[in-house]
């Protein structure tokens, strides 16, 4: 997207209307303040100021009620009245030379009307120059980023996204300078206009900061190499983004409260106490969240991996790793929710990462007198011919021990994953039995003969009971 250098006519009209309304309010305020100014002048001439007992008495109602808010709200400092400059002196000289000095219209003197016209010219000229400089600066910054990175789509989108707020800031800066140079505005109106400009500017800066946070998180998410990394780190990115948004809102909110005289120290202390209470009450949840971040960043296992948790004696596939819990699905399709703190404190065996292949073994007996070399060859050829056994992994055969009736041999091979170990072991055992039997290699089992010793009296007794049963 290209940065547009032409000015937005509709936007200029809106700002001009806003400035006209502000100036109109200034005129009305100045007209309304004229009688009060006359009364104040008369009081100064008479030398007898009108002082009531309520305003001078330290025990009045205002003095009693003011102490309750003094800790939280500080007294506002009014905006100072504009001091006449050399330019104002020139305007006065111009009015005197043209014969307009001393004349008034709608409660304003000719000098005031000339100052109003000058303020309008200053606003329009300042806005035009400011917008052109803003567009030029954004275009230059975008071209610089394009040369450095070669990809400016997201940067272009961000600059276009904050362009309206930057224009608002230009209007506020130029408008404040144009309005606050007018020395006929009342003190109350100056304070009101300053508050309005401050609030609008603070909102614009806050929106820019929030969009900057969103832009940085989106750029980091886009910069991840694979979709798996995006899915894995998405909970962490979202949590950090929300935390950053809260910090931005609290920071600029405290600035706003300070501007209006509110004590931020009491607010910060209250937030700290509330945070401490929540942290103590939700200690386990906080621990789970911290351990969730550790798991997502350290990545000892990922979604889809098959793990075994020793302390819980649980085996299953990881379905989802959240910021507080991890969901595991067992072999019998049961979902187990495990807190991340408990998972980090347990010994975990990962059967899928970094290598998903798994080694399987079985023991069998080879009869004495059989050729062990021939037995090894038959076993290895048979195991390698079974479907599911990895051909690029070794088949290991160990003569372990001498048994009572056979020699014990252990056979090891590799399968593609932990979940296929039982299926492939069944195929291998069946194939080994058939192959060894076909090769004439026996697989004897241990046989036991039991001899029972009995007394002659017991034998006679058993025979006698047997004879009685036959007669019956």
Q: What is the pLDDT of residues 36-57, one digit of tens each?
A: 443 433 343 334 444 443 434 4
Q: How far is Cα 472 from Cα 466, in angstroms, rounded to an integer? A: 10
pLDDT band at 163 (very low <50, low <70, confident <90, very high): confident
Q: What is the pTM of this model?
A: 0.52
- Range(s) of the chain covered by CATH 3.30.70.100: 358-438
DSSP, res 73: B
- Residue 92's pLDDT is 62
The most confident of the ranges 85-89, 351-355, 371-375 is: 371-375
In angstroms, rounded to a whole number, what is the distance separating the alpha carbons of residues 296 and 340? 10
Q: If phi over 0 gives left and psi between -120 and 50 gives alpha, with beta otherwise, what is residue 263? A: beta
Comma-separated ranges of CATH 2.30.30.60 domains in the chain: 292-350
Chain-wide mean pLDDT for the chain?
75
Q: pLDDT tens, 301-320?
A: 888 889 998 888 888 999 88
Q: Does domain 292-350 have CATH number 2.30.30.60?
A: yes
**Other Cβ atoms within 10 Å of 460 Cβ, number:** 10
Give the count of beta carbons closer than 10 Å to the beta carbon of residue 424. 21
Predicted pLDDT at 80? 55
Q: How confident is the model at residue 467 (pLDDT cuts 50, 70, 90)?
A: low
Predicted confidence band of residue 259 (pLDDT cuts 50, 70, 90): confident
Q: 461: how many CB neighbours lie within 10 A of its CB? A: 12
Q: Which of 199-208, 273-282, 405-414, 437-446 has the lowest mean pLDDT?
A: 273-282
Q: Is the pLDDT of residue 87 over 90?
A: no
pLDDT of residue 63: 38
pLDDT the model gives residue 429: 94
What is 358-438's CATH number, 2.60.40.420, 3.40.50.2300, 2.30.110.10, 3.30.70.100?
3.30.70.100
Question: If you count them, how many residues does the chain have?
Answer: 472
Over 90: is that where the pLDDT of 453 sits? no
Banded pLDDT at 435 (limits 50, 70, 90): very high
The span from the CA of 156 to the CA of 170, in Å, is 20
Cα 316 from Cα 307, distance rounded (Å) = 6
How many angstroms from the chain centroid is the CA of residue 196?
32
* Highest mean pLDDT (candidates 154-158, 194-198, 272-276): 194-198
Kindly report which listed range (30-34, 139-143, 345-349) carries the lowest average pLDDT score.
30-34
Beta strand 104-105 with 108-109 is: antiparallel
CA distance 16 to 171: 10
**Residue range 129-144: mean pLDDT, rounded:** 81
- Model confidence over 202-231: pLDDT tens digits? 999 999 899 888 888 888 877 777 777 777
Residue (of 372, 369, 375, 364) closest to 439 by Cα position? 375
Helix locations, 306-420, DSSP H: 340-344, 372-384
Mean pLDDT of 329-339: 89
If we measure between CA atoms, which residue out of 129, 100, 130 comes closest to residue 115?
100
Using the CB atoms, write b or e for 41-55: b if 16+ within 10 Å. eeeeeeeeeeeeeee
Ranking 24-38, 148-162, 186-200, 457-471 by mean pLDDT, the lowest is 24-38
Q: How far apart are CA 357 and CA 417, in angstroms?
A: 5
Rounded CA separation 180/85 (Å): 13
Q: Provide the pLDDT for residue 136.
A: 84
Least confident of 178-187, 338-347, 381-390: 178-187
DSSP for 371-428, written as a single string: -HHHHHHHHHHHHHTSTTB-TTS--EEEEEEE-SSEEEEEEEEEESSGGGHHHHHHHH
Q: Longest Cα pair distance anywhere in the chain, in angstroms?
A: 160
When pLDDT is averaged across residues 102-128 and rounded to a whole number, the result is 76
């Amino acid at each position: 997207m290209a940065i547009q250098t032409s000015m937005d006519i509709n936007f200029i009209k809106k700002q001009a209307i806003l400035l006209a309304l502000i100036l109109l309010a200034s005129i009305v305020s100045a007209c309304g303040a004229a009688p009060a100014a006359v009364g104040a002048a008369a009081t100064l001439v008479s030398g007898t100021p009108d002082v009531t007992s309520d305003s001078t008495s330290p025990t009045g109602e205002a003095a009693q009620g003011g102490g309750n808010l003094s800790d939280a709200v500080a007294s506002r400092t009014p905006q100072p009245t504009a001091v006449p400059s050399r330019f104002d002196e020139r305007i006065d000289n111009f009015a005197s030379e043209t014969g307009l000095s001393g004349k008034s219209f709608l409660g304003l003197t000719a000098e005031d009307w000339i100052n109003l016209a000058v303020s309008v010219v200053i606003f329009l000229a300042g806005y035009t120059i400011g917008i052109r400089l803003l567009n030029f600066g954004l275009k230059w910054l975008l071209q610089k980023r394009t040369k450095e990175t070669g990809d400016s789509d997201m940067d272009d989108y961000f600059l276009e996204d904050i362009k309206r707020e930057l224009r608002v800031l230009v209007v506020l800066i130029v408008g404040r300078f144009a309005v606050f140079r007018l020395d006929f505005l009342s003190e109350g109106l100056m304070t009101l206009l300053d508050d309005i400009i401050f609030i609008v500017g603070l909102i614009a800066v806050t929106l820019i900061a929030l969009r900057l946070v969103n832009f940085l998180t989106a750029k980091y998410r886009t910069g991840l190499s694979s979709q798996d990394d995006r899915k894995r780190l998405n909970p962490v990115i979202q949590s950090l983004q929300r935390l950053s948004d809260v910090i931005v809102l609290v920071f600029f909110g405290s600035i706003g409260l300070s501007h209006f005289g509110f004590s931020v120290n009491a607010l910060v202390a209250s937030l700290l106490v509330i945070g401490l209470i929540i942290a103590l009450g939700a200690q386990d949840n906080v621990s789970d969240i911290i351990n969730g971040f550790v798991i997502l960043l350290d990545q000892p296992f990922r979604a889809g991996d098959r793990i075994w948790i020793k302390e819980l004696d649980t085996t299953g596939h990881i379905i989802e790793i959240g910021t507080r819990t991890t969901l595991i699905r067992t072999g019998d399709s049961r979902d187990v929710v495990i807190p991340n703190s408990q998972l980090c404190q347990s010994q975990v065996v990962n059967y899928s990462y970094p290598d998903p292949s798994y080694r399987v073994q079985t023991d069998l007996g080879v009869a004495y007198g059989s050729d062990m070399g021939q037995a090894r060859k038959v076993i290895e050829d048979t195991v390698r011919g079974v479907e599911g056994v990895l051909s690029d992994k070794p088949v290991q055969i160990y003569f372990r021990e001498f048994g009572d009736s056979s020699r014990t041999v252990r056979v090891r091979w590799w399968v593609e994953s932990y979940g296929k170990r039982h299926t492939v072991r069944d195929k291998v055992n069946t194939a080994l039995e058939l192959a060894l039997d076909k090769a004439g290699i026996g697989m004897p089992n241990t046989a036991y003969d039991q001899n029972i010793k009995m007394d002659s009296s017991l034998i006679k007794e058993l025979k006698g009971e047997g004879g009685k049963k036959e007669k019956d």
